[in-house]
Amino acid sequence: MIKMELEENLKSINQAEVAYLNEISFFRLLT
């Protein structure tokens, strides 16, 4: 039960991290 919740949290954290990195590289392309 707890393990599943942790895995879900890791997935959402990873997605947020990927989105953040994508934004950074996008802004780098603009500048």
Q: What was the pLDDT predicted at 2?
A: 87
**What are 1-31's pLDDT values in tens digits?**
789 999 999 999 999 999 999 999 999 999 8
Q: Check residue 7 and give its pLDDT.
A: 95
pLDDT at 8: 95
pLDDT of residue 26: 92
- Residue 11 has a pLDDT of 96
- Which of 13, 31, 8, 10 has the alpha carbon at shortest distance from 21? 13
